[in-house]
Amino acid sequence: MESLLREWDGDSVIFRFDRLCGAWIIIAIHSTRLGPATGGTRMKHYPHVQAAVQDAQRLARGMSYKWAAAGLDAGGGKAVIAIPPDLGPPARTDLLRRYGAFIHQLRGLFLTGPDLGTTSEDMDIIAENAAPYVFCRTPAAGGSGNPGPFTALGVFTSIQVVVEQLFGDASLRDKQVLVQGVGSVGGELIKLLRQAGAEISFSDVDPISIQHFRRQLGLQFVPPGEVYDVHCHIFAPCAIGGVLNEETIPRLGCRAVVGGANNQLATPQDAVRLQARQILYAPDFVTNSGGAIAAIGMETGGWSPAEARERVAQMIKSNLFEILELATQEEVPPDAAAQRIAERRLA
């Protein structure tokens, strides 16, 4: 634990142990250089506290780059609530209220919204004690709602940019796309891909989701253990992070990786591994920034949902073209090019 805190390049990590249910609350503040630390609240079970801290730190760092690359005035932060495996619904709701009171005590140092394991309805509960430091509450509660469709739009736009880069035309008709994870982002992404005429396959671990997308929509299902071996044009990881690593990259049968998951690269060296295999990687903190951009724009800039969709598509398209051009000019992986652009603004 001490080495995690010593070696991290962020500002601070704030801990709280919830004695009533045995959960750990970890808020990682990576940077406030561009504004208050802003990032989602992730809720899940971890094998140990160190894993939760490491996850919060990596996610917070990604948020710093996400905001900077998008040109928005917000800092990087992330919250992780490491819950016990047997936490029931009533206890979970009470925990969210206590977490909201904790956020309020920070007086705007950290602003939050939904992430893996939390929803807009959860933000309503947190906001009972944490308003005005909560984004993406339900529209009925005055928020911008589920950011998933806007995140999916950003990933879809990024796929178009990458396809144009590879094939000279942004059309997705007959392009083969494998979507890993069909939750709030992956499921919405599939809707956009179907409308664009792409050939879609998918992978997931949830039986209900598998039945819906395979039987009701007629999409090809790929077992989780086989996703890296599938030959396709685009691989779109939209579930957990760390899926691109020294074991999976040699197996990849795709031309490009463009997804919605956070921290897809297990290590920085994995960007080099992808480049060595001539697999184009669109940096995740750019491709998955649509939900964050839309939430900020609608809740602080007065954007309508229609304007938010237009702005998200324009901003991500422009940012990704700039990143890919810089990567080509300087002969570096796109992830390194994206970090350089973000670091210029952070500096």
Q: Report pLDDT digits (tens) over 23-73.
A: 999 999 999 999 999 999 999 999 999 999 999 999 999 999 999 999 899
Distance linking the first and last C-alpha atoms of the chain: 29
pLDDT band at 2 (very low <50, low <70, confident <90, very high): confident
- pLDDT for 184: 92
Contact status, residue 112 vs residue 28, Cβ threshold 8 Å: no
For 101-143, the pLDDT digits (tens) are 999 999 999 999 999 999 999 999 999 999 999 999 999 999 9
pLDDT at residue 171 in the model: 97
Confidence of residue 4 (pLDDT cuts 50, 70, 90): confident
Identify the three-state secondary structure at position 172.
Answer: coil
Instruction: Read off the DSSP letter of residue 251.
Output: G
Looking at every residue in the chain, the average pLDDT score rounds to: 96
Residue 216 is predicted with a pLDDT of 86
Residue 210 to residue 165: CA distance in whole angstroms = 32
Predicted local confidence at residue 79, as pLDDT: 98
Instruction: Count other C-beta atoms under 10 Å from residue 248's C-beta.
Output: 18
Q: Which residues are catalytic?
A: 78
Decide if pLDDT at 347 tops 90: no
Helix (H) or strand (E) holding 76: strand 75-82
pLDDT, tens digit (0-9, with 9 covering 90-100), for 150-188: 999 999 999 999 999 999 999 999 999 999 999 999 999
Q: For residue 164, what are its two tokens?
A: 């144009």
- Token digits for 257? 């990786």
Which value, in Å, is the radius of gyration of the alpha carbons in the chain? Answer: 19
pLDDT classification of 189: cutoffs 50, 70, 90: very high
State both tokens at 163.
């396809």
pLDDT on residue 297: 95
Start and end residues for every CATH 3.40.50.10860 domain found in the chain: 2-62+75-141
For residues 325 and 331, give the distance between their C-alpha atoms in angstroms, rounded to a whole number. 10
Q: Residue 81 is which amino acid?
A: I
The answer to whether residue 100 scores a pLDDT higher than 90 is: yes
CATH superfamily of 2-62+75-141: Leucine Dehydrogenase, chain A, domain 1 (3.40.50.10860)
Residue spans in the chain of domains classed CATH 3.40.50.720: 148-289+317-346
* CATH architecture entry for 148-289+317-346: 3-Layer(aba) Sandwich (3.40)
